[in-house]
Amino acid sequence: MIAEFNPFHNGHEYLLTQAKKVTHADVLVVLMSGNFLQRGEPAIVDKWQRTKEALNGQADLVIELPIYVSMQAAHLFAQGAVQMASQIHSDYLVFGSEHPNLDFNVLAAEAKKISLNTSTYSQSFAGQLFSALYEKTEINLHTANDILAFNYFYANQSLTKPMALMPIKRHEADHADATFKGMHFASSSAIRKARLAHNDVFTHFVPKQTAIDLMGQLVSWNDLWPYLKYRLLTASLAELRTIYGCSEGIEYRLKTVAPKSTSFEVFLQSLKTKRYTYTHLQRLCLAIALNLKKDQMRGQVPVYRVLGFNRKGQTYLHKLKEFDIPVLSKIGQKENAVGYQSTYQADQIYGLLTQKEQNIGRKPIISL
């Protein structure tokens, strides 16, 4: 399973339970984003807390998606995560979807035939692709998990040995729902919004461990905004051009808008144009705040950082080592594994926000 768990809620626990039920899997491995996420935002609680939540909720082994996978546009996120899942010899890939009955395999095959005009600024690349796909199939992919499902199938078709992909229906709440509509399930967005507004209703929609974690220290873009503004005020245009995602002269707009902005929300609204989605801009802003250069986010060979496991997961870890998979269980004071430097660098900033070390001396969470 590929996941963010931001935070881990009842819907995720249901999904993990269903994954074991429909696949009869010997072991359930979760490839989970670390402290920074696909939509260009910090996780509300850190990767260690979310790992513990996942292990309590049916996961057997939690492996971290490195930042050069986790902080990408949907098609690159899916491509990197699917490749990592395949390399650890996964038979199935299970994920939530708003419309699991869609024939994503056919949609992905049709998409490969589409040629796009990348010189136009009237739509984002993804917007152009899905508009063209709608013209061919009359199927409108617009919900977040359906778009990810499509990208998982698209990436899976390129594998030498494709996995069996199994989308599972989301219940009561869609990914983007910002309010509580059901009695047991709610979106991560609604849960985060309620918690940040000090509305305890969110506790009805999360397991006990998540509720405990969410009553502690939280992280949001409000915490990261001063770091971003400092970088924009002090970095030169040439320095900004080296940052991943900074292209087409947007560095001039960044430098113009930053001094006048009093919050990240105001800054993002002032920065928005037709060419770029909010999530694209958030990813760019995150790359600037974390000082992630273009070469740090491209062409990296993934390392499998183990965040936690139970007895079944421990047994499977031994098999991964037999397969010569680059497994990383801990990071020492004087060493930083090849393929993990970018994630380590980003985690140092997250550690500044939480005042908690994220890597050195941290061992996998064990639930035996």
Binding-site residues from annotation: 2-15, 96, 145, 170
Q: Hey, what are 308's tokens?
A: 């936690």
Q: Yes or no: say if 221 and 41 are a contact pair by the CB < 8 Å rule.
A: yes
Beta bridge partner(s), residue 308 = 62, 365
C-alpha distances out from residue 359 to 5, 99, 220, 327, 332, Å: 19, 38, 20, 15, 8
**Contact predicate 68/83, CB 8 Å:** no
List residues forming the annotated binding site for ATP.
2-15, 96, 145, 170
CB proximity list for 250: less than 8 A, separation 6 or greater: 276, 284
- Strands 304-310, 61-65: pairing kind: antiparallel
**3 and 55 Cβ atoms separated by less than 8 Å:** no
Cα 179–chain centre separation: 22
Query: Tokens in use for 207?
Result: 């397991």
Helix (H, G, I), strand (E, B) or coil at 95: strand
Q: Which amino acid is at 266?
A: V
Query: 306 is written with which tokens?
Result: 């183990």
DSSP 323: T
Contact 88, 320 (CB under 8 A): yes
